Amino acid sequence: MPSIKLQPRCSGSAKRTTTASTPNNPLPALLQTPSGLALLELQGTINVPSGDEDDIDYSTSTDNPASTFETPIGKLMFPDYSVHNPDDTKWMKRAYMYVGRYQRMTGEVKKLPRPIAVLQRRQAAESEELEVVEIVRYKIFFKSRPEPVTTV
Amino acid sequence: MSTQASSSILFTHFRPQEGFRLLELTPELEELLTSKDAPVLELKSPSTALAQAVVDPTANDYVNLCTPTQTYRIRQVQSSNSLHILRPSHGEISQADIKVVEEEAGESGALNLPDEAVTAVAKCSSTLELHIPPGGFSAIPFLEKSLRLYDRRSDDDGDIAMGGSADSTSPLGFKEMRTVRENVCQDIPVSTAQCEQGWMQLCAFVDGAEEVACWRPSARSRLTVWKRLVEGAVLQGIDLEKQFLVGDLWKSVLDDEEEMEPPFPRGLLEAVVRRICIADERPPLADDIKWASFDKIECTQWVGETYLAAAAPTVSSAIGRSEFLRAWKDCLPETWRREAALSKLPNGCYNSPDPTTICFVEPSQRQPTNKTASAPATAAKAKNTRNWHELLKGHR
């Protein structure tokens, strides 16, 4: 089949919002999207252990029966952001990402030159279909390497 | 201290990772996708047969993104940076793990991390970018390969069984014809509007007399239709420059004894009428063409080009200029004869092997002259781009 449909809307979005425990979106309002998805660009990459035995250990230690789990990496901070003054965009110039406790990257929030559509394979479609899950207009961008920090 | 705590967000990595692709949008696409009744887009690549028949010099394998009216080539751009997709999370990590990020974990008064967390659910090392090559996209090369050539001479008297049988006028419903046409366009990697534009340009039509098939008439067939159409209109007193019923025109084309055996399928007449009728009045391909009127100047131009394509398709078959002009005029209604002149022909559609002769130039062969003319424009445009493919193109 030489043609694949790209649906302009996400079929699963309704499902996702109805689940009772939708987590609160902690990001600054500018970075929040209806689906909650946001973009983070990094020079380099995040390496997490990929060993399968580790996975099983983690998943059995939590009560969650699903084999999903989260590995903590660090913290994100927008030091100049204030919820009381959302129209002021000066805070975008500074963002921190702590990797572990002793390393920190300095970055910023940038408006994308062109908006980016996040695409996903549509579930439960009889033929192969894609869908636009979200259109993202900003990214959190860390272009420098981590620096050591002694005190947080 | 409290403000700092509120803007500190736990950042985690989620497993299993999800599969996402990132597509950079053009302003038009963004508008389209965010509009209330956003259409379904298509990712199209040519069928294997078409990909071999219509070679794209710039890419072997390609996928085009098609909106209802526009086509974009998709280019995958790798990045050395990694793009992570974040999603809010409950930050459900074990107490032991919190030590990785927070010294005070577990003690009262520590940062309230688990409520404020985002997790990286996917990583993308490339994005998909869209671009339109300088020449744009056309369905015509693909249609020329997918449609059968209709080239029945009017003086063959029906010994070739092709759309000549009695019930060829409408053995196929309008809806069925549409389905047949859409099936052809399915394999053509451009937007529906561009497919329909190409279809209309070629005067393509669906005929179901013998078997259901899509045809593109040869220049000679198109000219035959035109000549019959003019004869019929003159006989029946139809003024082609004013609105007329296409049904009346069809009747005027049929001789008395031909009502049982039309000289060509009605679909072909309608396709030709659709091609040369005044563009503003042209109904969409999805609708039947009931009324039409012709513009003298545009019509004359089309007839001249079509005659040349039929009579002198190549350099070796070039014909005399005066002979061509005379024949061209003879194809036209009496009052239009003055409109025929070499200067009225579309740009670049003819070539002169020597000063007295003239021959047709295929549309695909005309591009080079167009390209050189527009090269400075693209070079200027390339300077503003951040894409090095385009930046370097101008320097070759």
B277-314 residue pLDDT tens: 998 889 988 888 999 999 999 999 999 999 999 999 99
Residue B130 has pLDDT above 90, yes or no: yes
Omega before residue B16 within 30° of 0, cis: yes
| Number of domains, chain A | 1
Which residues of chain B are within 8 Å of residue A26 when distances are taken between CB atoms?
9, 88, 115-118
B93-103 residue pLDDT tens: 766 677 777 66
Please state whether B257 falls in left (phi above 0), alpha (psi between -120 and 50) or beta. Answer: alpha
Tokens standing for residue B328: 């061209």
CB of B9 less than 8 A from some CB of A? yes
User: If you write DSSP's letter for every residue of A121-147 in order, what string do you get?
Assistant: EPTT-SS-EEEEEEEEEEEEEE-SPPE
Amino acid identity for residue B326 in this structure = R
Cβ contact, residue pair B85, A46, below 8 Å: no
Give the three-state DSSP class for B9.
strand
Which among A6, A69, A118 has CB closest to B20? Answer: A118
Q: How big is the A-B interface in CB pairs under 8 Å?
A: 216
E-strand ranges in B175-222 read 205-207, 213-217
- The dihedrals phi and psi of B72, each to the nearest 5 degrees, come to -130, 140
Write out chain A's pLDDT in tens, 152 residues.
578 999 998 876 544 544 456 788 889 989 999 999 999 999 888 887 764 444 444 444 444 445 778 888 988 999 888 888 777 888 999 999 988 888 999 999 999 999 999 999 987 777 889 999 999 999 999 988 888 987 64
Please state whether A28 falls in left (phi above 0), alpha (psi between -120 and 50) or beta. Answer: beta
Three-state SS for A72-117 is EEEEEECCCCCCCCCCCCHHHHCEEEEECCCEEEEEEEEEEEEEEE
Q: Write the CA distances from B193 to A10, A99, A123, B132, integer angstroms.
A: 25, 51, 29, 16
Model ipTM value: 0.87
Cβ contact, residue pair A72, B103, below 8 Å: no
The whole model's pTM is what?
0.81
Q: Which domain holds residue A80?
A: 28-44+72-109+139-151
Decide if A17 is inside a domain: no
E-strand ranges in B236-375 read 244-245, 291-292, 319-320, 350-351, 357-360
Element (H, E) at B121: strand B117-131
* Among A119, A2, A64, CA closest to B124: A119
Decide if A118 is inside a domain: no
Q: What is the C-alpha to C-alpha distance for residues B54 and B360, in angstroms, rounded to an integer?
A: 22
Which among A23, A75, A76 has CB closest to B89? Answer: A23
